[in-house]
Structure 1
């Protein structure tokens, strides 16, 4: 394997030792994750469990999806915060509600329901892209399994039983989001960028980037640093509910996708985000290892589903 690029702010964690099941190795990986989560709130994972060939297939399928005519994509349109599925057009979403709409389009998928799903919870599949649905469902499952492995490491890092988070995420109320940032065809509006500054909403996010770049992460000091694409890795960041769970011990970090410099504005950018959310009825209350007399609980208990819905309502 070729040497990985080095980022002095966002650490790179080799997850292979965790998969061995050795408690000492798992503790070491958990300690590395703990340091990242207490600091920048982002970390790269190499030697994760998602095959690169599958990731490549998803990028190919999403490029075909976003190349469809707008009329076709609009037939799959996102309709409401409860479903949170379907196609989201350019400027439809404002991740920073104080700024103009984002210069991106997206396609959201939820878990594939079993028999007789409600119309509100049905995924919207394009009918003329061969292989799209099976590829995305296979990828969905791979991300769900990786999510649980990483949550095990989080639990160890927080001095909890290894499977503490597993039953709190076993309904897989997650969102797989395909993202396309088209070339910049005209001068952006004041304050408009490709994805406005925001923090994610749930427990954690798995992010896969192409090689174009543009993602930036805000450090504790307020500086924006590039989260450069590193081949063969996935990028993990925390969401707001994990920060609430940990009483601000772990950090849900603001991030954004900037408008590229002029010489790169003709390029397409693609990324894949898998947003991991607790079960809707999971109560998010301060974990026992994250408070003390000197650091009492900072947040009231809240149901995960109620928090997610409130954040989505503010975004659209």
Structure 2
């Protein structure tokens, strides 16, 4: 996450909690197309669907960290507004998730209220792809800062996607072309807040889920984000914290990447729990950039290559555009017809052939 100052404002992440074993990748090495680092990225996307990227030491990465720091400061200003002002900009569940969500409006697995607030900014709104939405004055005064965040974050995501293009046997810019910033989409910047909790509490603040889009970039300082290891039963004892790292962003893949890759890439279950140790007593802020496909992009596997596997017997591709796909999946989850679960991690076609020789 951004600067040393931000980390030093809070108690340290405790050493006695179960932590996920994620690869920490160097953005400098990825920009230089170092083959070993590229392979580590691909394996992370297949096996876990999560990795950490160190953005320090190179101008593009350092600029992103600065924009994340500005977004953190704006996050605190937004949630410092009167509740009455925030409620004027509440999101409408039947229309979109853009705007303000108050704590308790979502439900956990046991039906109890969640403990997470957010303010969700539509990329289309901030970049001018759609008509502007109304926001509190602090947001309106900061549109240029949010634009800078969107542009820099998207640029870094595109660099990461280019490595996946290579390992999936696709032409460069294939995956990035599914989420252009000048076409309408559900991409967003979400500013999140968890109020302080009782130290030692194991409360879940946001229910376990996978992201519906293609890739997410998260910045946080306090712990709380957890993932469920591949194949593990969904019980509290199996969830693992992701430790925030100085100068780094947490990256995870969403369900769209599973669709396009024929199940090779992985979308992993994750949730937000109370921060561990003494961090639980602090207000937890985080900043997440959710990249989703353009509304018109088809949600079917990319066919014709030597890496993405063909459909198996009884398996059908969904010939549907992203906008409709997202609506259907969201409605299924609300009705309880599609329980969140990790997906993907299949063996690529070429590696199947190699293994059979």
Give the TM-score taking structure 2 as reference length. Answer: 0.75
In structure 2, the partner of 1:87 is 100
CA distance in 2, matches of 1:205, 1:116: 20
In structure 2, the partner of 1:12 is 24
Contact 2:205 2:274 in 1 (8 A): yes
The answer for unaligned runs of 5 or more in structure 2 is 5-12, 14-18, 233-237, 336-357
Matched residue SS, 1:140: helix
In structure 2, the partner of 1:308 is 326
Contact 1:44 1:233 in 2 (8 A): yes
Deviations 1:174-222 (A, max 9, x none): 111110001237999xx96211111100111111112x20111111131
In structure 2, the partner of 1:266 is 281
Establish whether residue 202 from structure 1 lines up as the match of residue 213 from structure 2: yes
Contact 2:229 2:239 in 1 (8 A): yes
In structure 1, the partner of 2:272 is 257
**Equivalent in 65, 69, 72 of residue 59 of structure 1:** 72
CA distance in 1, matches of 2:287, 2:105: 18
1:223-262 alignment, distance < 5 Å: 223-260=238-275
In structure 2, the partner of 1:290 is 308
CA distance in 2, matches of 1:11, 1:33: 8
- Which deviates the most, 248-257 or 106-115? 106-115
- Which deviates the most, 223-232 or 77-86? 77-86
**Equivalent in 25, 38, 42 of residue 34 of structure 1:** 42
CA distance in 1, matches of 2:314, 2:39: 23
Give the TM-score taking structure 1 as reference length. Answer: 0.84
Deviation at 1:98, TM superposition (A): 5.6
Two-structure CA RMSD over aligned residues (Å): 3.2
Contact 1:36 1:43 in 2 (8 A): yes
Contact 1:213 1:229 in 2 (8 A): yes
Contact 2:216 2:290 in 1 (8 A): yes
CA distance in 2, matches of 1:192, 1:133: 35
1:108-123 alignment, distance < 5 Å: 108-113=120-125, 117-118=130-131, 122-123=132-133
Contact 2:166 2:172 in 1 (8 A): yes
Deviation at 1:162, TM superposition (A): 1.4
- Which deviates the most, 291-300 or 83-92? 291-300
Establish whether residue 146 from structure 1 lines up as the match of residue 156 from structure 2: yes
In structure 1, the partner of 2:10 is none
Matched residue SS, 1:72: helix
Quickly say closer, same or farther: Cα 1:65–1:261, change in 2 above 3 A: same
The alignment of Structure 1 onto Structure 2 pairs a total of residues equal to 303
